[in-house]
Structure 1
Amino acid sequence: MSASDDIEIVRGRAELLDQVRPLWLALRNHHNKIAPDLGPVREDDESWRRRRAQYEAWLGDERAFVLLARRQHRAVGYAFVRVEQQGSPTWEGDGLGADLETLSLLPEARGTGLGARLIALVRDEVERRGYAQLSLTAVASNHDALRFYEREGFTATFVVLRDTGRR
């Protein structure tokens, strides 16, 4: 797959979730490879059941959406975005913010520019709707993803630390 391949990207909601399942499982498998220290991953059906339930709950907010990338009618990537009220007792800048909850591409679609296209479309929506910011969370050991997000203009603002001293 190259960046010039014919990719269709559609915006939708719950009607796209059935097509998202293999993409979610590809991400779950990738997380298992790059973060084995986080423990065993859930079985396919259980992992998807839980993630789908989260997506359906977030889609209860009309502002949430899915971008699904297809090549020849086969899903090859997606972005899931939810919107929430953001604010800080420390910093100014309250308002609605978009959270790029998930960005996943099938392994053969990585490195083709598709991830950047999906982020650009998410940014367009964030700008069009006037949201205060766009943020995302990434697994700390996912070095390729972190480099990609940094190239796309994201910077780390908070770091979550996990107590591994207690067993």
Structure 2
Amino acid sequence: MSHLDIRPAVLDDIPAIVALLADDPLGAQRESPDDLTPYTAAFERLAQDPNQIQAVAVREDRVVGTLQLTIVLGLSRRGSTRSIIEGVRVHADERGSGLGTRLIEWAIDESRRQDCQLVQLTSDVSRADAHRFYERLGFTASHVGFKLPL
């Protein structure tokens, strides 16, 4: 397999990131790759926040994976800093290659570098394969999540 680089995303990566986000049954319902305007605006906000990292995995000048890592400062857990991993996606051609593991390991390493004491993530209840993947990497299903659309 050729060299893989995991790095912070740049504006030119937005079309590929959005395509990855839209490339599954859930993403196909909520993403709009034909209009990148809201994604570009969101990326510009993310890029200005030092506690947000939109990362991409690049192989042969092609974005093949992505995730967002958010660093959260807090008072709970004795003033612990935690990180949240979201939006993990791997290109269909790369699934099963170990790329997802490399992305998560990168996020964990970056969390350590940022002095986080806890890494957390959420995954839609319908993503049973993803749940098994995260459990293999040492994550435990420890909480029940709730959402309120605004």
One-letter identity of the residue aligned with 1:96: T
Q: 1:128 to 1:76 in 2, by over 3 A?
A: same
1:11·1:68 contact (CA, 8 Å) conserved in 2?
Answer: yes
Q: 1:159 to 1:21 in 2, by over 3 A?
A: farther
- Tell me the residue number matched to 1:83: 71
One-letter identity of the residue aligned with 1:66: Q
- For 1:99 and 1:162, the matched residues in 2 are separated by 16
- Tell me the residue number matched to 2:101: 116
Offset of residue 131 of structure 1: 1.0
Q: TM-score, normalised by structure 2?
A: 0.81
One-letter identity of the residue aligned with 1:60: Q
Determine whether 1:25 maps to 2:19.
yes
- The 3-state SS of whatever aligns with 1:44 is coil
Give aligned pairs, total. 148
- Tell me the residue number matched to 2:111: 126
Determine whether 1:68 maps to 2:56.
yes
- The 3-state SS of whatever aligns with 1:70 is strand
1:123·1:134 contact (CA, 8 Å) conserved in 2?
Answer: yes
- The 3-state SS of whatever aligns with 1:45 is coil
> Structure 2 matches for 1:33-112, cutoff 5 A?
40-46=29-35, 48-88=36-76, 92-112=77-97
1:118-146: per-residue Cα shift (whole Å, max 9, x none)?
11111111112211211111111011111
Structure number with greater CO (CA < 8 Å, separation at least 6) is 1
Q: 1:29 to 1:11 in 2, by over 3 A?
A: closer
Return 5+ residue gaps in structure 1 as ranges.
none
Q: 1:138 to 1:54 in 2, by over 3 A?
A: farther
- Tell me the residue number matched to 2:7: 11
- For 2:84 and 2:147, the matched residues in 1 are separated by 22
2:82·2:119 contact (CA, 8 Å) conserved in 1?
Answer: yes
Identity %: 28
Q: TM-score, normalised by structure 1?
A: 0.73
Q: 1:143 to 1:131 in 2, by over 3 A?
A: same
- For 2:78 and 2:129, the matched residues in 1 are separated by 30
- For 1:66 and 1:52, the matched residues in 2 are separated by 12
One-letter identity of the residue aligned with 2:33: D
